[in-house]
Structures are given as C-alpha cells and as structure tokens.
Chain A
Amino acid sequence: MLKDLFGKKKKYASIPGENAKKDVPEGLMQKCGGCKKIFYQKELIKNLNVCPECGHHHQISAYDRIHILFDEGSFEEWDKDLLSQNPLQFPQYEEKLEKDRIKTGLNEAVVTGEGKIHESRTAIAIMDSRFRMGSMGSVVGEKIARAIERAREEKMPIIIFTASGGARMQEGILSLMQMAKTSIAIQRLHRENGLFISVMTNPTTGGVSASFASIGDYHFAEPGALIGFAGRRIIEQTIREKLPKDFQTAEFQLKHGQVDKVIPRGEMRDTLGTILDIHGFGGETVESSAGV
C-alpha cells in the first residue's frame, strides 16, 4: 500500500559491519585481549591494566610498572643516556630504532634504576616489550649487566621484570653475547650472596628466557604470560604436531617446576615487599597473617 512508504519504521535493525566493530575510539575504550569485552580505558588502567572480568594481564609500559611498584617518588633511573648503535650496519636498523623511540618515548627496551618497595631499597630492571619486542641488544645487555653489578657493589637486591622476544637479530652475535654478559654478572652477584628476583611477564622467550631470567633465587610470573625457549610455530613445525593452548604459559611453567609462584599484578608489590623484608632489606613489614 502506498501508506507503507511513509512513516514506517525500518523493520530491521542495522548491524554494524566488521570494520565498525573494531572502531573503538582510540584512547577512550579498549578491548580486552582475553575475553574481548570492551572497557573504558580508564577503568582498565585503574585496575593495573588487568581485565576486571577475566583477569587477563595486558602489557604495561616500564614506567607504568615503576609507578605501581615503588613507593612514591623513590625511583631514580640509571644509564638513561645509553643509545643503540648499528654495529653490523644492518639494513634499516636505525630507522626501526628511531620509530620505536618516538612510539614509546623510551631510549631502549629496558629501564634500570633503584627505588623503594615498602621502604626496602632495591635495584631494578624493567623491560618494555613495546620497544623492538623487548629484544636484547648491546644496550639492553649493558644496562642490565651494569644494574646487576651496581646491586652487587652496593649490596642491594635486584629485581628484573622481563618482557622480551629474545635476542635482537640486528645486532647479530653481539646480541647473543649479551646472554653471556648478563649471566656472568648474575653469577658474580650470587657468588657474594646477592638476592636476585626474576619476574617474567608476557612475553619472556628466547635469549632472555635462556639467560638471566632463568637463574634467579626466585622465579615469579604474571598470570597467563608466555614463557619459553623456542617459538610455538618453530616447535610445531619441528615436531609436526599441534601444541596445547596452555603450552608455555606461566601456569605451564609452574606445573613443570620452572617458576616458584604465579603472582597477579595487584599482589606483586606486597609480595616483593615481603620477600625483601624477609631477606632483611629493611623497611616496614607486610604481615599477611599473625606469626606465633
């Protein structure tokens, strides 16, 4: 009928296309990488970038981690001035570094320094996977080794948060040798009974997993973090079988005896504070239950 042409509501609701779905306003909303639900970014940040629904731990920047970990205003950064060169004259390496410097506001993939957790003084190295996948080249190796050495000399504990895809390919053999450099530094620390706490966050693989990250007095991991030596795809190609979904997760490593404890981000500061306290590094005691 003619009247149907006028004034009638559309019978069907329009469904946004695939592209529109992804079109979450930048900086306002964020989709959870775990449950895929959409949250206000502020809400996620308030929750330490951990999904309030499913508990998925999103990556956080090195400075955000420093902020949630240390007593306010206690952090002092070391060796911020160290910059990577292009020792092999590897094609396009400098451009990639420059791009990541602009993107992240960092000079390299690790931030080192010292600060206080519940008033216990500690050295720290925090990797940031947004910079070249957190890969370890000369500067990352050097900064970490220097931080370990300084912790040893000043009789401080050291905590290292790893987030790295492994060695940095563009620095070739020099990257590989950073595994040795950092591990020898850790050996020197252990020799003098220094305390080293390794906290593996998503991802901790390859040359970082197979060096300093795996030789701590305590090995902790954030829930769901990818931790392993070889990449999943390489293993699947090599053994010609599909790997289980939980393969190389923090929980998998806990089950296989490689980590001491999986610690949610919200409990990290208190747990680390307690350990530093038990080891006699001063500060206030965080009592979790009454002692006898």
Chain B
Amino acid sequence: MNQVLEFEKPVIELREKIEELKAMTKDSDIDLSDEISKMEERLAKLENDIYGKLKPWDRVQIARHANRPTTLQYIEQLFTNFIEFHGDRLFGDDAAMVAGIAKYKGKPVTIIGHQRGENTKENLKRNFGMAHPEGYRKALRHMKQAEKFNRPIITFIDTKGAYPGKAAEERGQSEAIARNLMEMAGIKVPIICVVIGEGGSGGALGIGVGDRIHMLENSTYSVISPEGAAALLWKDSGQAEKAAKSLRITAPDLKELDVIDEVIPEPLGGAHRDMVTQALSISKVLDKSLRELEEENETSLLEKRWEKYKQIGEVQSSIEKVEV
C-alpha cells in the first residue's frame, strides 16, 4: 500500500478516475478513449503543477514517506557482491546503522548507512534508523578498514537524528559523533556522502563528513527538525510548516547555500515511485564523483576536504564584509 500525502491527493484521485474509466471501457462496449486521453492530459498538467512546485513542507513529507527506499534497498540496486558486517567490537551491534563491502562497477568500496525499517516490525528492530554510539563506532571501524585497504567510502544518510536515550548518553553519544567528525577529516580515501531521506542534525553529520556531499531532490538536511524548531521558537510544534521554510532544509536550499555538491533528481512524485530509476540517477552522480576523486593524492584529498568545510558559514567583520 502506497501512503498518499495530503498535497498530492488531487493527482491520486484523478489517476484513480482514469483507471476506473479504463476498466469500464474494457468491460463494456462504450468507447471512452477521447475522455480518457483528455483526462490524461489533465493529469500530466496537474502532476507538473503539483510536483514541479513542491513547497519545503511537501518535500519533508516525501523525505519521510513510509515507502521511501532505504539504504539497503539502494545497496541492492547499485552494488554487486555486498556483504554486511556487524558490531563495533566494543559494545554491540546497532541495527540502525549498516556497514559492509561490495563492488561498484567492478571496484571495491566500503558502504555505510543509516537503516530505517521497511515496516513497523523492522523499524522497532532498527530503532527507526536512529543510531546509538555503537552505530557510529561501527561506522568508524569500517571507515578505518576502508582506509587500510585503500577503497573509497560511500555513506547513505537517512536518519531523524542520533537516538536521544539514556543508554546512548551513558555510552557517550557526543563522543561517538565527535570522534567520527574528527576521524573522517583524516581518512585518506575518498568519502562520498548521499542524503537519501532525512538528514537529522548531528546524527546525520556523524557519517556525513566527506569529499562530496549529495542530496536527493526531496531529501532534507537540518540542524533541528521543523517540529523541534517550531516548539522552541514559537512554543508550537504545529508551526512546523513555517519552520521548514525558515530553516531552509531542502536540497535546492543547501545547494544555494553552497553546503552540498549536487542535487540528485527524483522521479516525479518522489523516489518511492520508481526506485530503479532513482538508483540510476544516484549511480550517475556517484560514478562522476568517484572518477573525480580518483585523481587526488592523499595530501590534496585531505587539504581539499578541509577547504570545503572551512568556507561554510557567513561572517562579517566590523572592518569589512568577508565570505569565509
């Protein structure tokens, strides 16, 4: 069952009507092909109108769509010979984070990503893709291994945030994320990060420091959830829609703010409408990034990684205005 989002209801209703008419034509002798083709024209226009001008809040809904493809689903589409490995060697295994090795176009890669469940039962097991410290430490262990064996790292970001729990605090959630930020700065192999769903704050950034940062068109990346921001600012989480706009959390926003490299287009209506096509467009960008980064030596790779983050932010000197 595909979950229908509020803003796309007119499209879905019209699509259902067309299906009905088509069924009628089949079952009876009445020829409705004229009407059907007219309605199909209308549908195409409506789809363009609605999906072509998505508001930030619409994108938030798509990014959170129950059927939105997950890390493991993209891994299956994009790579061959994937083998998943478990555990951080310190405490346990976090199912909210997956890690493993595979081949991409014949070459070895390490893959790391947040993993949501595809249904409620799996979501419980995977803690809705919200990792504990052991998840971040598992990710780091695999990044170090990738460095040792000289293979590029690809990370898929898809989390509401690092899990805000008691045990997570006791085991050093802050330290686990901070260490990843620091260590990722020094890993001597290319790191490519792709935000595929929600990029929730520090929990997303914990596997998000790299040489290329890409976002799917309808994914989001934010310092705080729109609901959280609205609750803090206006004491009303109901104003999330307004906060989503003010916070500028969509892929086109981040591209404009010079935080990400590329916006990866999605099929009309979102990635869940056509995962195979979506995987192809991810692959195109991935391939390009890997080729570009192959050219770098270790020193220039790390130096450019630093330069990339160094320039993010806007500060003004009381002496003169400077872009950093």
- Tell which of B224, B248, B315 touches A138, judged by Cβ atoms closer than 8 Å: B315
Task: Name, among B170, B181, B209, B259, the residue most crowded by chain A CB atoms within 10 Å (CB to CB).
Answer: B181
- Interface of chain A: mostly helix, strand, loop or mixed: helix
Binds B, one of A29-37, A179-187, A261-269: A179-187
**Chain A hits for B317, CB < 8 A:** 81-83
B205 contact set on A, CB distance < 8 A:
176-177, 179-180
Complex: how many Å from CA A164 to CA B142? 32
A247 to B170, CA, bound (A): 9
Q: Does A44 belong to the interface (CB within 8 Å)?
A: no
Question: A164-192: contact bitstring with B at CB < 8 Å (1 yes, 0 no)?
Answer: 00011101111111111101111110110
Residue of A nearest to B311 (CB): A181
* A286 at the B interface (CB under 8 A): no
- Asked if A211 and B181 make an inter-chain contact with CB atoms under 8 angstroms apart, the answer reads yes
B221 at the interface (CB under 8 A from A): yes
Verify if A90 is at the interface (C-beta below 8 Å from B). Answer: yes
Query: Please, which residues of chain B bring their CB within 8 A of the CB of A248?
Result: 169
Q: In the complex, which of the residues B166, B168, B185, B259 contacts A177, with contact meaning CB atoms closer than 8 Å?
A: B259
Residues of B within 8 A of A257 (CB): 172
Shortest CB-to-CB span from B68 to chain A, Å, is 20
Please name all residues of chain A whose beta carbon is closer than 8 Å to the beta carbon of B257 when the two chains form the complex: 87, 173-174
Nearest CB of A to B308, in Å: 9
Flag the segment in A7-15, A235-243, A277-285 that touches B: A235-243
**B63 interface residue (CB < 8 Å to A):** no
- A139 CB within 8 Å of chain B: yes
Taken together as a complex, chains A and B put the C-alpha atoms of A137 and B181 apart, in Å, by 17
Instruction: Report Cα–Cα, A238/B243, bound state, in Å.
Output: 22
Closest to B221 in A: A173
Per the bound structure, the CA–CA distance linking A183 and B205 in Å amounts to 11
Q: Taking the nearest CB of chain B, how far is it from the CB of A97, in angstroms?
A: 11
Flag whether B319 is at the interface (Cβ < 8 A): yes
Q: How far is the CA of A176 from the CA of B248 in the complex (A)?
A: 13
Q: Are A176 and B314 in contact (CB under 8 A)?
A: no
Q: Is the CB of A235 within 8 A of B174?
A: no
Across the two chains, which residue of chain A brings its CB closest to B317? Answer: A81
List of A residues within 8 angstroms of B222 by Cβ:
172-173, 176
Say yes or no: is A142 at the interface (Cβ < 8 Å to chain B).
yes
B178 contacts A211, CB within 8 Å?
yes
B165 at interface (Cβ–Cβ under 8 A)? yes
Q: Mark B226-255, 1 if CB is under 8 A from A, else 0.
A: 000100110000000000001111000110
- For window 209-255 of A, CB contacts with B under 8 Å fall at 209-215, 227-231, 234-235, 238-239, 241, 243, 247-248
Query: A138-B315, A169-B233, A229-B162 in contact; A187/B202 too (CB < 8 A)?
Result: no
Q: Using a CB-CB cutoff of 8 Å, which residues 121-160 of chain A contact chain B?
A: 137-139, 141-142, 145
Contact pick for B178, options A107, A138, A215, A256, CB 8 Å? A215
Is the Cβ of B248 less than 8 Å from the Cβ of A169? no
Q: Let me know if B306 is at the binding interface, CB within 8 A.
A: yes
Counting CB contacts under 8 A, is B310 at the interface?
yes
CB-CB nearest in chain A for B202: A210
Contact of A238 among B164, B229, B306 (CB under 8 A): B164
Alpha-carbon distance A185/B186, docked complex (angstroms) = 10
In the bound complex, residues from chain B placing their C-beta under 8 Å from that of A258 are 172, 174-175
For B296, list chain A residues within 8 Å (CB). none
Interface string of B15-51 (1 = CB under 8 A from A): 0000000000000000000000000000000000000
Q: Is the CB of A234 within 8 A of B164?
A: yes
B313 to chain A, nearest CB (A): 3
Q: Does B316 contact A (CB under 8 A)?
A: yes
Cβ of B5 under 8 Å from chain A:
no
Contact of A214 among B174, B208, B249, B259 (CB under 8 A): B174
Cβ of B324 within 8 Å of any chain A Cβ, yes or no, is yes
Contacts of A241 in B (CB 8 A): 166
* A107 CB to nearest B CB, Å: 8
Set B178, B253, B315: member contacting A212, Cβ < 8 A: B178
Is the pair B164, A235 in contact by a Cβ cutoff of 8 Å? yes
Contact with B along A87-107 (1 / 0, CB 8 A): 110110000000000000001
| Beta-carbon contact of A181 and B174 below 8 Å | no
User: In the bound complex, do residue A210 and residue B164 qualify as a contact, i.e. CB atoms below 8 Å apart?
Assistant: no
B313 touches A187 (CB 8 A): no
- For B229, list chain A residues within 8 Å (CB): 169
User: Besides A210-B173, A231-B164, 14 other CB < 8 A contacts?
Assistant: A87-B257, A90-B247, A139-B313, A139-B315, A169-B223, A176-B202, A176-B221, A177-B259, A177-B309, A178-B313, A190-B182, A206-B202, A210-B202, A238-B165
In the assembled complex, 22 residue pairs joining A and B whose CB atoms fall closer than 8 Å, in A order, are A83-B318, A171-B313, A172-B248, A173-B223, A173-B249, A177-B313, A179-B181, A179-B202, A180-B208, A181-B309, A183-B181, A183-B185, A184-B305, A187-B186, A191-B186, A207-B223, A210-B174, A211-B181, A213-B174, A229-B173, A231-B164, A239-B166
Residues on A lying within 8 angstroms of B by beta carbon are 81-85, 87-88, 90-91, 107, 137-139, 141-142, 145, 167-169, 171-181, 183-188, 190-191, 206-207, 209-215, 227-231, 234-235, 238-239, 241, 243, 247-248, 256-258
By a beta-carbon cutoff of 8 Å, the part of chain B in contact with chain A is: 162-166, 168-175, 177-179, 181-183, 185-186, 201-202, 205-206, 208-209, 221-224, 229, 232-233, 246-249, 253-254, 257, 259, 305-306, 309-310, 312-319, 324
